[in-house]
Amino acid sequence: MARLLRMPEIAANATEAILQDWTVEERTAFSARDSIATVETEKALVDIEADADGTVLKRLVAPGSKVDVGAPIAVLGDPGEQVGDLEALLTKLGVGAADAAGPVAEPAARLDPEGGTANTGAGALPEPALAEQVTTPNGEHRARIFASPLARRLAREAGLATETIRGTGPGGRILRRDVEAALAERMSARSDEPLRAPAEQPSTQPAVAAAGGFTEIPHSRMRRAIATRLSESKQSTPHFYLRATIDVRRLVKLRAELNDGADVKVSLNDLVVTAVGRAHALVPEMNVTWSPDAVRQYAAVDVSVAVATERGLLTPVVRGVEAMTVTEVSRATRELAERARDGRLRQEELEGGTISVTNLGMFGTEEFAAIINPPQAAILAVGAVREEPVARQGKLRVRPVMRVTLSVDHRPVDGVVAARWMEAFVGLLERPLRILA
């Protein structure tokens, strides 16, 4: 039986999202849990998965369109179902012909096959895929290669030629999973080489030169989301701050020993994140969030790790840190950071957690304070490791030290609780073998 597929509420309180790409063609069957379309939110690309077997009878929205949550985006049917009078079916489902042509969505600028921008008109329907024609060095033209816009972008960022990727979509179309598989194969073959950084992509929102010696750069959706979220946090969350200077001589030595001959290299930040998980387990009153009706205390410790990307700051969540080894934390944070920079995080990987860790030490920043990422209760700002004179038992020695600042939401957490947590955290870093226990 025919039914409407509507734009889901991908993120909490979201009112709209961009339909980035279709992954199933019209009049093509799909199975339960197959990806039907890819939706772009402010911070992530999210696959809309089928909840049952079926067929895409009609797409109602073109790729690149901004769609209200709850608006119809496609007509789905049972496996093998066909429709003779599509217009009558749309009317029966409460979707007029005009709605099917596009007014349910606001077309947004999108990249065309040559890298420029193009707007999808109100009556435009998406082409099955973007095709590119391969020309060999001797001028010979080969068959066209069909790939989804998302797959082409990911391949370009990863430095993969589409003609080297085997497509598993209908008609050999290259999908995102095919690019990811090709990238994984390349990384496996070159496991001893450093990861390739994604190429910088041109913004679809060009900078606008203005009189007066400045340039206006239009806000991206992510920049607006970050501004709104952090402004609300600073205005509505009563912050207080605790600072500590930590002797990390033993921590630096432990890291060197862990990395000696190891396949997975552990960073100081990995040790810090692991210590945060241990400290939350020691002081569970910190593993909380504030809600209007109650303070929620959690059994598992989920820690967000700040990652700088070309589009802005993302904070993917590492789940269950209190039960992970340092190596497991290192693998998890590295994998999340890579996918964050590639724009491949899932929405659920950006939600939850009770504390964030943000580290600017690699830029030489000695000390800073950060704004809490709501609804979390705290954020730890980590500075650079520097050699400084340290007094121990009346004697002055030069030791590597690291300064940290803990920003805390005073609504669910009192000062004494935060102080106990900081004491536990500092103790773990200064006697780091306890992190491994």
Which positions are annotated as active-site residues?
410
Cβ-based neighbours of 31, under 8 Å, separated by 6 or more? 50, 53
Burial tier of 120 (Cβ tally within 10 Å: 0-12, 13-18, 19+): buried
Q: Is 254 helix (H, G, I), strand (E, B) or coil?
A: helix
d(CA 416, CA 434): 23
Which position has the token pair 């840190």?
321
Edge-to-edge strand ranges of the sheet holding 45-49: 45-49, 35-40, 16-22, 65-68, 105-107
d(CA 103, CA 73): 11
Q: Is 433 helix (H, G, I), strand (E, B) or coil?
A: helix
Burial 345-355 (b: 16+ CB within 10 A, else e): bebebbbbbbb
Structure tokens at 161: 């030629």
Alpha-helical regions (H) of 260-384? 268-282, 326-341
Cβ-based neighbours of 428, under 8 Å, separated by 6 or more? 275, 278, 279, 434, 435
d(CA 360, CA 381): 8
Angle (CA) 161 44 203, round 5°: 60
Burial tier of 216 (Cβ tally within 10 Å: 0-12, 13-18, 19+): exposed
Q: How would DSSP label each residue in 166-219? A: PP-SGGG-B-HHHHHHHHHHHHHHTTTSPPPPPPPPPPSS--EEETTTEEE-PP
Cβ-based neighbours of 139, under 8 Å, separated by 6 or more? none
AA letter at 132: E
Structure tokens at 66: 């901004």
